[in-house]
Amino acid sequence: MSGKPLQFGLNVSKTSKPLAVSGGKLSFTLGRKKVANPLAGQERDSDEEQNDTSATITTIQDFDSVGSNSHDRLDNGADATRIAAAEERERNRLASKLEQQRVNAELRAIQAKQVAAVEIAEQLAKESDPTLFDYDTAYDYLKEASLIKQRQRDGANDDSIRKKPRYIEALLSASSKRKIELERAEERKIQREREEDGDKFGEKDMFVTEAYLQRKEELRKIEEEEKRKEETEANNRDMTGFYKNILERQEADAVDLAKIAALAAQNINDDTGKHKLTLLDEALETERLERERQRQILESGNIIMNDFDEIVDKRQLLAGGLNLTVKTLKQIELERKESEERKELELKAKQSRDAEQRAQRVRAQRAREQANRSAKASLQQQEQKKQEAAEEAEQNKARLEVMAASKVSDIQVQSARDRYLARKKADESK
């Protein structure tokens, strides 16, 4: 049989992936291809995103020389492209790394300069004021200032903490407002009476005291203040006024704390060079003594402590009032004093209300008496006017009667005279 001799091997299609050739032996892998890395001196995977483990399937030897030469040319071009791309990526990576190192070096230099400047500033500040960074002492001063402000706010003394009454100020303010409203109502009533009188007493003199003028001026100022508050409330219908009040109060508290802390910092004994005993020291000493007393009691007998670190006596199960610490006794004493003060203030408020009610009744009685006098005077004036009118009518009537009587007499005289003249004329004619 003649013709082309048979060839045995692997038939590779044109659409298949290029195969890697090495020294006349063809090898291929399933999943990814091996690429030589000339920069690192080792093989790198072209597919770095997938970390799959590929296995070599087989190696085919004694392949036809014609087919292997064509595949050698294809693989050489692909390898050159991949090598160039790998070299470009490596150059970019090295350039980026060098740039990052340069930027880091500049940042470290700037940071070192800043640290040196801060250290120099701190050294200068310490030389000017050695206590500048004494934060513990500053905190103690602020704590002392807070205790002093709390003591001032609560109206405390050195013996015990006293609290102000909660509602008496509001009651007194409401009472003052009611008094002002009553005075305004009285003033409006007097003004209406004057308008009703008109010019009846215009020719009479008016006498006004200095106290009355001062009170009118005070009422005018109060009215202006109320109008201003109403306008402010009308303009601030959102939360702006609320937040403004909070910020102003916090700012005032901060200023007060700073002032008190500055005064506390100056509270040093010149003789010993030590700080004087402050409220903070007293509070800490009281707590220390209380803990020492509790420790001694615990060591001396079968005593237990509750969750609030208070001594619990088993006898309290039989009767109340046996578990009273110093703090509880002080609180009971404070409550008793507050109750007495509250009762005293309520008594004073009741007396003030009673006095105000009596004054109102007196003013109302005087107003009624004045109204009665005015009504009586008006009735008397009306009766007097009626009487005068009646007298005037009587006088007019009498005058008319006299005039009528005098007119009749004149007629009679004239008639008698005419008769006399007629008789005289008759006699002369005879």
DSSP string, 85-99: HHHHHHHHHHHHHHH
Helix (H/G/I), strand (E/B), else coil: 28: strand
Q: Which residue has the higher pLDDT, 97 or 264?
A: 97
Query: Percent of the chain at pLDDT above 70?
Result: 63
pTM of the model: 0.25
Binning pLDDT at 50, 70 and 90, where does residue 104 land?
A: very high
Helix (H/G/I), strand (E/B), else coil: 68: helix
Does the pLDDT of residue 428 top 60, yes or no? Answer: yes
pLDDT tens digits for 374-389?
888 888 888 888 888 8
Helix or strand (DSSP H, E) at 312: strand 311-312
Binning pLDDT at 50, 70 and 90, where does residue 79 land?
A: confident
pLDDT tens digits for 219-236?
888 888 888 888 877 776
pLDDT of residue 106: 92
Where along the chain do its domains lie? 20-125, 137-164+255-301, 166-198+207-235, 304-386
Binning pLDDT at 50, 70 and 90, where does residue 307 land?
A: low
Q: DSSP letter string over 241-275?
A: HHHHHHHHHHHHHHHHHHHHHHHHHT-B-TTT-SB
Nearest CA to 159 out of 345, 337, 293, 339 is that of 337
pLDDT of residue 80: 84
Per-residue tokens: 196:
């009703």
CA 382 to mean position of chain CA atoms: 67
Q: What is the mean pLDDT of residues 246-269?
A: 71
Q: What is the mean pLDDT of residues 124-149?
A: 76
Q: Which residue has the higher pLDDT, 156 or 93?
A: 93
Q: What is the mean pLDDT of residues 112-118?
A: 90
pLDDT tens digits for 7-40?
555 454 444 444 444 444 444 444 444 444 444 4
pLDDT tens digits for 145-192?
777 777 766 654 544 445 567 788 888 888 888 888 888 888 888 888
Q: Where are the alpha helices (DSSP H) in 155-167?
A: none
